[in-house]
Each structure stands twice: as C-alpha cells, then as structure tokens.
Amino acid sequence: MERTFVMIKPDGIQRGLIGKILSRFEEKGFKIVAAKFGILSEAIVDKHYEEHIVKPFYFGMKAYITSGPVFRFVLEGDNVIATVRKMNGATNPGEAMPGTIRGDYALSIGKNVIHASDAPESAAREIGIHFADVELVSYEKIDEMQLYE
C-alpha cells in the first residue's frame, strides 16, 4: 500500500471543510493512518517548503500557511498519491474541474484549500517532516478485501 501526505490549509479550516474533504477520501476507500490539527511552526514550514525559500512568493506563502490552524493527515491505499492529486484538482482553482476539491471549494491560487504530495519521494519526505514513525498507525479495515484485488 502507498501512503501520501495531505494538508487542509488555513482557508479550508476557516470555511469548515475538514469533514467534507475527509469524507471524499474515505468514501473513495482510502484509509487515514495519521492526523494532526494545529498551527505549523516556522521551522516545519521552512523544512516543508524548502525548495521555495528563495522564491519571491515564499514569505507571503509562509505568512498565509502559519496564519491559522491546518489539518495534516496521511492517507493509505493503492495508487493513493496520483488519485489524491486528481481528487484535489489543478493548483489554480480557475483551472480545476468541478467535482474536484479545488474546483468545488477553492477561490484563488494563493489560498487553494489543500496540499498533497506529488510523488512517492515527496510523500515520504513530507510524512517524515510532519509525523514520527510511531504516529503512523497500521491497521486493517474490514472492507479492504472488497476494495482491492
């Protein structure tokens, strides 16, 4: 099974979207194996977005992502990384298809409700930044036999 990191950003929290977003992933059949709610420290933000630190938009993005609480979680399932990215929709909400999370809820590219890892390497890196190994729970859901071949 593959794992991915997902984060509902401050605008998603302020708009009360945690339940709606989580239910989409659970209804798809993905399993939540870790979760945290809170305000990100500057150190975590710098580590998470380290490739963007030198870019001109970084300080505005950092101010936004630390402006309020976020909900971070790890999902597990077959092809979860690519599927979650598709479910999220295009980064620019204006290009996101209706039915995707950003297509349905996001209003601007700078505040686009949700983040998800884009590849196995970034998923492993981001999970490691936000969660200790002991915080990841392994368990079997009763419907897994029906969901996976």
Active site residues: 115
HSE value, Cβ hemisphere, 13 Å, CA-based, for 24: 20
User: Residue written as tokens 């500057």?
Assistant: 42
Q: Which amino acid appears at position 138 of this protein?
A: S
What are the C-alpha distances in Å from 91 to residues 86, 107, 119, 123, 145? 10, 11, 15, 17, 34
Strand ranges (E), the chain: 2-8, 31-38, 70-77, 114-116
Distance CA 81, CA 74 (A): 10
Q: Which amino acid appears at position 109 of this protein?
A: I
